[in-house]
Amino acid sequence: MHEVEVKAVLKDKDSIMKALATFGCVFSLPVTEEDTLYAERVDSMDAYNRNANFLRIRERGNGQLIFTLKHHPDRHEGRPDSMPLEHETGIDSKEEMEKILALQGYVEAVRVSKVRQKGTYKKWEICIDEVTGLGSFIELEELTNGTETQRVVDEMLAFLGTLGIAREDMFADRYDIALLKKRWGV
């Protein structure tokens, strides 16, 4: 499956949460998520962006561990914005998974710490995130077969517009990329 995602900076989280409630969105209690991302090349922003595979171990506040692979098949063609193929599964041990990743040549790139609330609207998962070092965000996500990406993005952008979120508030970077840009002063 292909993950289609649209993200925006939230200037006024409380008013957006109230607006989403008018659409019938009910959100989970806040959950802390600690993501550790791994890649083969992590010595510069350019090198990091050339990776085709990004691996993540997510630790949720409830003790749940999730391993995710995001594969960007078009990276070698100079398309860093390609929609990734995503696969994920639960794991029992972060330490054992890290040993497996190290043997495969993957190294830790960055850690992302956030408090997330999840809800749904239409076919979208909606996340409200407080990301340490970056701020507040809204993220809409839908898994598709990959053929209808632009239609889904257009619908998501239109919906965000109804919430009063302007196009200039769209946030193109993944959290890991934004944190690495801060680290490297890019």
Answer yes or no: is pLDDT of 104 > 90.
yes
pLDDT at 81: 56
Q: How far apart are CA 35 and CA 176, in angstroms?
A: 9
Q: How far apart are CA 72 and CA 11, in angstroms?
A: 31
Answer yes or no: is pLDDT of 133 > 70.
yes
Cβ proximity of 165 and 8 under 8 Å: yes
Q: Which of 19-28, 81-90, 160-169 has the lowest mean pLDDT?
A: 81-90
pLDDT at 84: 78
pLDDT at 76: 56
HEC assignment per residue over 1-57: CEEEEEEEECCCHHHHHHHHHHCCCCCCCCEEEEEEEEECCCCCHHHHHCCCEEEEE
pLDDT digits (tens, 9 = 90+) for 154-184: 999 999 999 999 999 999 899 999 999 999 9
Q: Closest Cα partner for 132 from 83, 175, 96, 77? A: 175
Q: How far apart are CA 171 and CA 132, in angstroms?
A: 16
Answer yes or no: is pLDDT of 99 > 70.
yes
E strands, 91-177, are 107-121, 124-131, 135-144
